[in-house]
């Protein structure tokens, strides 16, 4: 039987502590307000300076509301953006008109929500904006971008229908956007700050 031998363990080298990079800016507050749109009350949230910085409009998805962005709103404002999060008509704390009292499919559709976003940018934000959208918010953001490219500088869509599957509103002739001139108007803003917006930021202390 071979003699046993001891196996020495190599001493583990100490690992240098990683110092997280923390912005020196304090977390800005998140204000809440209502905007009157076509006799409906529309809730929105705002964070950041009202005087400078790029404007971002955060648009929630199906079954959600502006609170969907609660871990992003203040954090983006902390990085120097003017940030707005809106409740689409029929969602969250915005008005919920009875569709049975309206012409069929005339109120809850992407065209209406797109018009709501365009008017919001024009009347409340007051400057051309980037839109960061989830789910049905992505299609609404595309509608807004197509109709008013002068107000919507770009759309970042998260878990929405692919551009190539969207044919656009009736007045575009039902053209597929991937083969039309509309697609160039939807450039996503670049930069690691925008790319790391979702899931990479530390959790805001605001609950």
User: Residue 31: is its pLDDT beyond 90?
Assistant: yes
pLDDT band for position 49 (cuts 50, 70, 90): confident
One of 2.30.30.40, 3.40.50.1100, 3.40.50.1820, 3.90.850.10 is the CATH number of 31-195, namely 3.40.50.1820
Task: Report pLDDT for 102.
Answer: 86
Task: Report pLDDT for 157.
Answer: 86
Q: How many helices (H) and strands (E) does the chain have?
A: 4, 6
pLDDT of 52-62, one tens digit each?
789 999 999 99
Task: Report pLDDT for 45.
Answer: 97
User: Residue 21: is its pLDDT beyond 80?
Assistant: no
Task: Report pLDDT for 108.
Answer: 93
Distances (CA, A) of 63 to 66, 88, 136, 196: 11, 10, 9, 24
Q: What is the mean pLDDT of residues 71-90?
A: 95
Residue 36 CB-density burial (10 A; 0-12 exposed, 13-18 middle, 19+ buried): exposed
Share of the chain above pLDDT 70, in %: 63
Task: Report pLDDT for 159.
Answer: 77
Q: Using alpha carbons only, give the angle 199, 54, 200 rounded to the nearest 5 degrees.
A: 10
Q: Are 97 and 40 in contact (CB under 8 A)?
A: yes
Task: Report pLDDT for 158.
Answer: 86
Beta-sheet strands, E only, within 144-188: 152-158
Give the start-to-end residue ranges of the domains of the chain: 31-195
Task: Report pLDDT for 91.
Answer: 97
pLDDT of 145-181, one tens digit each?
999 999 999 999 887 655 445 555 554 444 444 433 3
User: Residue 138: is its pLDDT beyond 80?
Assistant: yes
């Amino acid at each position: 039987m071979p003699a046993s031998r001891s196996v020495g363990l190599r001493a583990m080298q100490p690992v240098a502590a990683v110092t997280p990079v923390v912005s020196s800016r304090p977390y800005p507050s998140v204000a809440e307000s209502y905007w009157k749109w076509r006799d409906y009350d529309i809730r929105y949230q705002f964070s950041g300076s009202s005087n400078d910085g790029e404007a971002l409009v955060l648009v929630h998805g199906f079954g959600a509301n502006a609170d969907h962005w609660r871990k992003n709103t203040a954090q983006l404002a902390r990085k120097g953006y003017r940030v707005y999060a809106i409740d689409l008509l029929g969602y969250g704390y915005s008005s919920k008109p009875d569709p049975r009292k309206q012409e069929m499919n005339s109120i809850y559709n992407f065209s209406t929500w797109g018009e709501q976003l365009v008017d919001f940018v024009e009347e409340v934000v007051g400057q051309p904006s980037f839109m960061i959208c989830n789910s049905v918010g992505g299609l609404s953001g595309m509608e807004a971008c197509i109709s008013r490219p002068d107000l919507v500088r770009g759309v970042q869509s998260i878990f929405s229908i692919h551009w190539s599957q969207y044919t656009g509103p009736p007045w575009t002739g039902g053209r597929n956007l991937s083969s039309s001139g509309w697609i160039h108007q939807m450039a996503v803003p670049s930069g690691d700050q925008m790319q790391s917006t979702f899931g990479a930021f530390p959790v805001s202390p605001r609950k």
